[in-house]
Amino acid sequence: MSGTLHHRHPGDGWVQCGDHQHWGLHGAAGLFLVRRAPPAPGGRPGRVTEVVLQHRATWSHHGGTWGIPGGAVAPGETPTQGALREAAEEAGVDPASVRVVAEHVLDHGVWTYTTVLAETLEGRRTHVSATDPESIEVRWVPVDDVAGLDLHPAFAASLPHLMTLLDDQR
Ligand SMILES: [Zn+2]
């Protein structure tokens, strides 16, 4: 999520949604980047082995929890473009090093959050790192370790469905 302390973009701002607020005048988007084991004989894609998670800065919303890099979508930008831009800014992800495979939209009517699911090319462990103050750390996390982390509640709620979507790619 883009904060107010730095790198402001068009599209930054709060949207009132019933009794609560969301970040992103044009919605928000995040990148869920995974890598897979080598394909099985016959070419079936391998299982997801690791995912990129962001340990969120303590001052941010739900600070100290783990989630995915992302933020407000800018005007004229698709959610996928926004997620890739934010992942480049926050996590050093080179957009040329990943392949987008699916999107999942959480629709609140006046506001949407799009999780862009992507995988690295040929299962590579691409370089990622915390590249702005919104993160304490960004790293590859073994998929079996994810549930043991203190996850951002919205990410935790969507995670089972996201993993199902990735499994459907196989
Ligand atoms: Zn809402």
If you average pLDDT over residues 113-139, what whole number do you get? 93
Single-letter amino acid code for the residue at 54: Q
Instruction: Give the residue among 152, 149, 150, 91 at the shortest CA–CA distance from 118.
Output: 91
Single-letter amino acid code for the residue at 21: Q
Compute how many other C-beta atoms are within 10 angstroms of the C-beta atom of residue 81: 15
Measured in Å, residue 122 CA sits from the centre of ligand 1 at 37
Measured in Å, residue 17 CA sits from the centre of ligand 1 at 5
Tens digits of per-residue pLDDT, 32-50? 999 999 988 888 889 999 9
Measured in Å, residue 134 CA sits from the centre of ligand 1 at 22
Measured in Å, residue 21 CA sits from the centre of ligand 1 at 6
| Residues found in the chain | 170
Question: Is residue 15 packed enough to be buried (19+ CB in 10 Å), middle (13-18) or exposed (0-12)?
Answer: middle
Measured in Å, residue 61 CA sits from the centre of ligand 1 at 15
Asked if residue 2 has pLDDT above 80, the reply is no
Measured in Å, residue 108 CA sits from the centre of ligand 1 at 5
Tens digits of per-residue pLDDT, 127-153? 999 988 888 999 999 999 999 999 999
β-pairing verdict for 20-23 and 28-36: unpaired
For 75-78, the CB contacts below 8 A with 24+ separation are 75/10, 75/11, 75/26, 77/11, 77/26
Selected from 3.40.47.10, 3.90.79.10, 2.60.120.10, 3.30.420.40, the CATH number assigned to the domain covering 16-37+45-168 reads: 3.90.79.10
Measured in Å, residue 77 CA sits from the centre of ligand 1 at 21
Measured in Å, residue 88 CA sits from the centre of ligand 1 at 26
Contact between 61 and 1 (Cβ < 8 Å) = yes
Measured in Å, residue 165 CA sits from the centre of ligand 1 at 23
